[in-house]
Amino acid sequence: MKFCVDTDKNNSWYIGTKDYNSKMINKIETIMFQGNGYVGMRGVTEEPQLNEKRDMFVSGTFDAFPSEVTELPNLPDLLNMVFQVDGETLNLKDGQVKGYHKYLNMKNGELTREFTWIINHKQINFKFTRFVSMDNYHLLASKVTISADKDINLKIKSGIDGQQSNSGTQHLMEGSKRFYEGKFIQLTEKSQQSKIEFVFNSMHKLFVNEVLLNDKPYIKMGRRQIFENYDVDLAAGQIFQIVKYSNIFTSIDTDVKDDDLAEASVNCLKKSSWANYHELLQKSTRAWEKNIWKKNLVEIQSDDITPQVAINFARYQLAANTPHSPNMNIGAKGLTGEGYKGHTFWDTEIFMLPYFIFTMPKIARNLLEYRYLGLEGAHKKAIRNGYRGAEFPWEAANPSDGETAPLWGSADIVTGEPMKVWSGFIEQHITGDVVYAVMEYLNATNDRDFAKKMGYEIILDAARFWVSRLEYDQDHERYEITNVIGPDEYKEHADNNAYTNYLAHWCIQKAIQVVNILEEDHPDLYVTLDKKLDLAESYNDWISHVNKIYLPQPNEKGVIPQDDKYLAKRKIDVTKYQINDQISEIFKDYNLDQVNDLQVTKQADVMLLINLFDDYFDKDVKLANWNYYEPKTTHESSLSMPPHSMIANELGLDDQAYKFYRWTCETDMGVHVGKSVQGMHLASCGGIWSMTVQGFGGVRISNGKLRIDPHLPKAWSSLKYQICWHGSIVKVSITHDEMEVEVVGDGIEFINNGQEYQVPDNSKIEVDDFVPEKVKG
């Protein structure tokens, strides 16, 4: 695979670069992101750089600038440090640079940057290291080590810089600037509309040859800024170190219950600063090990290290971007950039949740609870649009906000008029996607508690929406869903998008099943939910509608029509838009109206339907649709590639399966300059895990049962992974001709190649006569 960063054959946790003068500056900032789910910051340099995107976010702290939709505010910067050597300000564009090396240790999230800066005939060695603690979510620490071949005077300015904005938009109102005990500096701010309070603290320790200096800083304040200034004379060969401790607290933190956040937070920093950088890093490293790496093992044996790097990278980014409270969810770009404003989309349910469901079900439950808490907002949206039940928002911020998609986008390239953004109104499949994820979770975990407290209600409420959404077509005597956007966002105002119709139908089926379960097993809960959701009447509606919902069927060639008009539209050659390492430029040739009239698909649509409901369709239909749709798909969305890889793998189209796998791994780490500037594609990270474990590793849920039908890429000699199933840990080892399944915990059942296997409690079995799936086909 072709990455924009270097990898290390012997260390799959390393990504690095020796190119400091790169045009990739914003991309490197994105992929060398550091976070712990609470706070996240881009891999910017300490000293300011031209064109940098210096972003730091805390999960869930949404605010709306007047006239704009809510977004995560870009917070005051705690990473800044300005160095002057003999009066020359450190800037790698000045002087000369030798031995530049910037690298991320994905095992514990420590970022390192080192180089020798040559200025005025002196050589100054800099080494920057820093991390965000996975042990204490509020804590950041960084250490800079400096030495020179001649005597130098070193001036350092470091502190808290609140002059950040979201591309020019300022959310935070300045509070107070304080310092305590001559060394702890503090800035407080408050968000303008959501009134969330923020406190930021920093302090520094300085050492020469490991001896602590007692220098008092000279404090300077500016607008939204407070800095400590130090002035140190350093002899040739002496080793100087400055350690910066910072922390962040907000008034919506659930782990701090103190009236005086300002005082409590500075006390926390005092305590943290008793430990040195190394001790704090060790604690964080142990937390990474315990909270993440112990739970989600994936090991790929291959001559090539990059697949293992890719899966490590994917899991690193997911861990660093996943919040810890059910009031928050993972943004399409997590905390890694301003793109999509921190909003959550179906990316979570369809592309990221499989990973969490199968490895960290508690986190999966949190992420689904977010949708339960979002029912209020979903009701608002349904009512506003004239429907009943829960219509989940296309873009979600605070759960109770409901829809947060912007109303207006860019101006049309032809007319010059601003274009309405339709997704928030008619991209309705999200309500089915949520239910799909709830069912996957329930099937994999058997979490009855969640089902009763939240899961059933989500399913029922969603079904209430869907049945209110159906439109009766007299001519065909059937229920239809017209005027939607399906997964293929090139087609606005489509009628009977197959993906949407199947999902709606399936949701209503699930709701009917849930009512049956409730009546039989949980009569009390039935009564409760009946009061809330008018179950008796809803049930009758569902029964009377469900079998009359139009489900587009494969035509004579086996092709499922994407929507009513798609198959009659004009065809063009899409090849030139399918290149992965450039931006798809179809909109340079056509405007949206024109693309709407072409048989061109942005991303997996019918293919996604087939991937999610793979029991519905036989191999011939799958292949027919692959052959029809894939060549018409630009894959402009990163969401397109994982389903394509998984279906291709199932169909034995090995080269295609690996191509889409590779493209997904290259989505963020690849060489394309423009991609990832606004942040990571976290659905791709979920996709990397899914293609690896669910695609090549073959883990699927069929009719509520665990199915494991692996088919490894040629380039891999073996794959090991670990999943959770019904509370037990399942370790699967696969080679091209052997498959072993080990269970820690209660015994489980699984299906391979159509045959059911049982693994007793805490034991291991080998699958007899293991046949890789392709051969079956």
Of the two residues 297 and 419, which places its CB atom closer to a second copy in the complex? 419
Give residue 483's region: left, alpha or beta (phi > 0; psi -120 to 50): left
Q: 13 labelled as ligand-binding?
A: no
CB-based contact 535:526 (threshold 8 Å):
yes
Of the two residues 178 and 270, which places its CB atom closer to a second copy in the complex? 178
Cβ atoms < 10 Å from Cβ of 343: 25
Q: How far is CA 537 from CA 60, 530, 694, in A?
A: 37, 9, 39
With the C-alpha atoms ordered 339, 345, 350, 354, is the resulting torsion angle positive or negative?
A: positive
Q: Report residue 616 as tokens.
A: 């519905």
Q: 603 labelled as ligand-binding?
A: yes
User: What single letter denotes the amino acid at residue 119?
Assistant: I
Binding region for a second copy (CB under 8 A) = 48-51, 65-68, 91, 93-94, 162-165, 167-170, 173-174, 176-180, 182, 190, 192, 218-219, 221-224, 226, 408, 410-411, 413, 416-418, 588
Give residue 726's region: left, alpha or beta (phi > 0; psi -120 to 50): left
Q: 725 labelled as ligand-binding?
A: no
Of the two residues 342 and 487, which places its CB atom closer to a second copy in the complex? 342
Residues composing the chain: 777
Radius of gyration of the chain (CA): 27
What does the alpha-carbon distance between residue 108 and residue 283 come to, in Å, rounded to a whole number? Answer: 10
Nearest C-alpha neighbor of 57 from the set 377, 348, 397: 397
- For residue 459, give the H/E element and its range: helix 456-469
What does the alpha-carbon distance between residue 448 and residue 431 come to, in Å, rounded to a whole number? Answer: 22
Q: Report residue 229 as tokens.
A: 């200034």
CB of 250 to a second copy, least distance (A): 17
Of the two residues 168 and 754, which places its CB atom closer to a second copy in the complex? 168
- What secondary structure letter does DSSP report for 693? I
Q: Determine whether 349 is an active site residue.
A: no
Helix (H, G, I), strand (E, B) or coil at 208: strand
Helix (H, G, I), strand (E, B) or coil at 681: coil
Q: 98 labelled as ligand-binding?
A: no
Phi, psi of 369 (to 5 degrees): -60, -35
CB-based contact 41:35 (threshold 8 Å):
yes
Of the two residues 582 and 717, which places its CB atom closer to a second copy in the complex? 582
CB of 735 to a second copy, least distance (A): 47
Cβ atoms < 10 Å from Cβ of 678: 19
Helix (H, G, I), strand (E, B) or coil at 34: strand
| Catalytic residue (one of 197, 338, 349, 489) | 489
Nearest C-alpha neighbor of 642 from the set 612, 601, 676: 612
Q: How far is CA 177 from CA 158, 186, 757, in A?
A: 15, 6, 65
Q: How far is CA 673 from CA 22, 342, 375, in A?
A: 10, 22, 39
Residues of each annotated binding site: 346-347, 602-603
Kindly list the catalytic residues: 489
Task: Please give the annotated binding residues for substrate, written as ranges.
Answer: 346-347, 602-603
